[in-house]
Structure formats: C-alpha cells, structure tokens
Amino acid sequence: MKGPLETMDEVKARQGKWLAYLIYFQAAFLAITYAEGMWAALTVHNFSVTLPDVIEHGVASAGFAVTTGVVGFVAALRGHRGVAICNLVLFVITVIAGSTGFAFLSNTSDPGQIAQTNLSMIATVALGMPITGFSLIKISRASRGDSGSLSPVTIMIYLALGALALTVVAGAAMLSTSPSWYAFAVSAHVGVAALLVALVLGVLVTSAMGAFEGAGSVWEPQTVAYSLLSLGAATIAGADGVVFMTSGDLSYVEVMAEVGVLVYVFLMIASAGPFHRKSVGIRSEKITRAAP
Amino acid sequence: MKPASLEGEEIGNLGLSGLRLTLKLCYVNFVVYLAIYVTGMYLNIFVTSGVNTVSIGDPSNIVHMVGATLNFAFTFIVMVVGFIFGMRKVALFSLGAVASLVVATVGGLLFLATGGGRQSGGLTLVGGWIMSLLFMLALFLSYYSTLKVMRAVRILESGVAS
C-alpha cells in the first residue's frame, strides 16, 4: 500500500523491492523443490500421494509455480518484458512438468513414465536456475536505475547458473536414460561441473578485485563471501561425485545433490549483493570526495 | 502524494493498461473456474458414478488438478497485484479466495487419500464437501475482487474520456 507522503519514485522503488523479494521466494521454492525431489527419488521406493516426501515436494513445487506466475505478471505490469516472458514460459513448463508427476503417481513402476517425469522435472529446474538469476539481476539493476553494460561478475554469474543447470540435467540423465547414453551423460556432467567451478572461481576473484558493477573499485564483501561459499559447496559436491564413482554408494549422490543446490542459492545471493547495499554508491562517493 | 483513490473508490497506482491486463487475468481465471467445475462434475458423474473410486492418475483428474493449480496461481497473482499496487479490497477479497482454495485443496487431498469414492466412508464425504463448499466461496470472493478491478477500470476510463 502507498503511504500518504510517498512520491511516485518511492512507490516504484518499493514495488521493485517487492518484486525482488518475490524472486528470492521463487528461488527458495526452486531450491527446496529440487532438494526434496532428489531426496524422494533416491530414498523412496513406494510413491503415493499421501507420502510426506511427496506432499512436501508438491507443496514446494506449487509454491515455485505460483511465485513464477506472480513474478511474470508483476514484471509485465512494470514493463520488464524480458523477465515477464521468461517467467510466464517457465510457469507453463512448470505446470506441464507437474502434470507428469500426477501421471507418475498412478503408475510408479513404469520405466518410461519414471524417465519422463524425472527428465521433465529436471528440465524445469534447469530452466528455472538461469531464469531466476536473470530476473533478479535485471530487477535489481532496474531498481538501482542502472542501464549500463553488464559487469564481468554479472556475466560470469549468468554463465555459472547456465553451467549449473546443464550439470543438473546431465546428472539426472545419468540416472534416467539408457546405458548407451550413460557414458555421454557422465562425460557431460563432469565437464560442465568443471566449467561451473571455474566460473564460480572467476566470480570470486573478479568480485574480490572490486569489479562489480556500480561499485567502482570498492570491494563488495557480500558478493565475495557468497561466491566463496558457492565455490566451497561446488567443491564438496564434486568430491561427493568422485567418491560415488569409486564406491558406487548412492547416498553420496544424495549429498552431492543437496550440497549442489547450495551453489545455486549462494550464487543468487551473490548476484544481488549491491541491491541491498545502497551504501556502496555512497561509500564510493565519500571516497572520491575524501581524495585530495 | 495522496493515495490514488476517488471518493471512497480504489483505483490503486497500477495505471489503466495494468488494470486492463489484470482484468483480463480475472476473466481467464473464471474460465479456469468453469473448467474445474466441469471436470469435477464429470469425475463425479461419469468416472465414479457416485460409487467407484477415482485414482490420481486418471486423465480427467489430472486435468482437474492442473486446472486447480492454474486457478490458485491466477487468484494469488491478483492478490499480490492488489497488495503491491495499493488496491486493498482487491487484495483482501483475493486473499479470502486464496485461503478458501487452500482449504478446498486439503479437502480434495483428503477425498483422494481416504478412498476417492462416495461409499469410501464418512471422512471421504467430509473431504468432498469441504472441497465443493470452499470452491464456491472462492468463486464468490474472486467475483467481488473482479468487480473492484472492473470498477477501477471504469473510473479511469471515464477520467481519460473526460
């Protein structure tokens, strides 16, 4: 609601902040949906609609679908055409993937149905990761009134989210597709995961050097800290993958998936760092003024 | 700056084009309400015939649940638009509809989980009644919310025309 003394610019800034919070919710629902889905896929053997794991996964995915629709519609109302189109397409895909889940619950032993459900849901997660990242960066840039070119850190975060999405798809394909595709899926998963680690390292190094947009040469601690956490999570997930390949113990895949989703969460927080730090601009201004 | 209202009317700060888009979403939501009603009746009369059970994977049940998901999402979007863009009545009516839909969904899950047929027991019937009654309440509240959006569009249009 608008306060009696707010100017139109303040109202727009507040609405932009709301939209950013909605994208955070959307990302949180996506992370929980993925974590719950992987947990259920690897530990549950008799699926039914009343199983707590299935209900939790269903509620989280419904939350993701709803927040995606909300973000898409509110972005359309505020004139962010790219964000609106991406999110509304993602909304439709999420609903279709959800319907494959309903079909799976009535026929839980059919391998074709299992593969169809796994791959459609993973494809949705894979699309959701870069789209939420793009939406958050776009909205936070618009809220700051920043219409300049993208910084190296932002570009690397985009690429890292894309690489993470491909890693997740290749990982699911390893478990869901025929043996003839297995070797290709493993190679793709390992290769793209290595690219992901390299990109997260790039985000860390570049942000530590103070090259985040709008920050000038000011060091941005939030981006540095969260990209460091993201790198740590990616390293642990990679180590789990190596242990799984040597031991064959599926519980390591479970840990890899649960830790892997943290890479996404930390990258999302790192991506919108300066949005919550208005002081960055003020600090750089003070530094410039203080200089003789 | 004063809140955007006109003698007790709420026009919010969405603008005419945004309000028109929201009104279109409300209309689409009513089409979805109708689809849910039709598929629900089809399930009740032709699939269960009042006696048989319905499984979650039945195609008409999948269409019914996808419709319910879309209906919840659209109602929730109208609620958020009401809150963000300063239309208190739209937001509150839609909030009531969202709450009704949540309880109706729980009723539907109870219906499916306890047998999915009229003769499956008292709890199944309770689930079915909760689902039906709360669905109607949600429809009623969405209708009022749509009227408020429509009213805001009319006021702005008359302002633009004059």
User: What are the residues whose beta carbons fall under 8 Å from the beta carbon of B121, sequence distance 6 or more?
Assistant: B114, B115
Asked whether residue A170 falls in the same domain as residue A288, the answer is: yes
Q: Would you say A260 and A233 are in contact if contact means Cβ atoms under 8 Å apart?
A: yes
Domain count, chain B: 1
Pairwise CA distance, residues B97 & B73, whole Å = 11
Mean pLDDT, to the nearest integer, of A7-13? 74
Q: Which residue has the higher pLDDT, A14 or A69?
A: A69
Q: Domain range holding B27? A: 15-161
Q: In terms of Cα–Cα distance, which of A267, A268, A271, A228 is closest to A26?
A: A268
Least confident of A1-10, A155-164, A224-233: A1-10
pTM over 0.90: no
- pLDDT given for residue A280 in this prediction: 43
Please provide the distance, in angstroms rounded to a whole number, between the alpha carbons at the two ends of chain B.
23
- pLDDT given for residue B112 in this prediction: 80
- pLDDT given for residue A105 in this prediction: 85
Question: Is residue B138 assigned to a domain?
Answer: yes
ipTM over 0.90? The verdict is no
CATH, residue A159: 1.20.120
Pairwise CA distance, residues A126 & A205, whole Å = 26
- pLDDT given for residue B38 in this prediction: 93
Last residue of a domain, one of A93, A115, A147: A147
Pairwise CA distance, residues A173 & A185, whole Å = 6
Check A4 against B2: CB less than 8 A apart: yes
Pairwise CA distance, residues B50 & B53, whole Å = 8
Check B14 against A73: CB less than 8 A apart: no
Question: Is residue B6 assigned to a domain?
Answer: no
Contacts of A7 in chain B (CB under 8 A): 1
Q: In terms of Cα–Cα distance, which of A127, A132, A151, A156 is closest to A230?
A: A156
Check B2 against A66: CB less than 8 A apart: no
pLDDT digits (tens, 9 = 90+) for A221-232: 778 889 999 999
Q: Domain range holding A139? A: 1-147
pLDDT(A195) > 70: yes
pLDDT(A292) > 50: no
Q: In terms of Cα–Cα distance, which of A165, A144, A155 is closest to A214?
A: A144
Phi first, then psi: give them for residue B6, nearest 5 degrees: -140, 105
The position carrying tokens 């499984």 is B55
- pLDDT given for residue A287 in this prediction: 46
- Confidence class for position A233, pLDDT limits 50, 70, 90: very high
Cα A137-A22-A57 angle, rounded to 5 deg: 110
- pLDDT given for residue A264 in this prediction: 93
Give residue A196's identity as a one-letter amino acid code.
L
Length of chain B in residues, anyone?
A: 162
Asked whether residue A173 falls in the same domain as residue A152, the answer is: yes
Question: Is residue B134 assigned to a domain?
Answer: yes
Last residue of a domain, one of A113, A131, A147: A147
Contacts of B4 in chain A (CB under 8 A): 2
Domain count, chain A: 2
Q: In terms of CA atoms, which chain A residue is nearest residue B2?
A: A4
- pLDDT given for residue A279 in this prediction: 39
DSSP codes, A180-239: HHHHHHHHHHHHHHHHHHHHHHHHHHHHHTT--TT-TT---HHHHHHHHHHHHHHHHHHH
Average pLDDT of the residues of chain A: 83
pLDDT lower than 70: segments of chain B: 1-9, 50, 160-162
Asked whether residue A33 falls in the same domain as residue A54, the answer is: yes
Least confident of A145-159, A205-219, A230-244: A205-219
Mean pLDDT, to the nearest integer, of A75-80? 90
Asked whether residue A123 falls in the same domain as residue A257, the answer is: no
Contacts of A22 in chain B (CB under 8 A): 80
Check A73 against B4: CB less than 8 A apart: no
Last residue of a domain, one of A102, A132, A147: A147
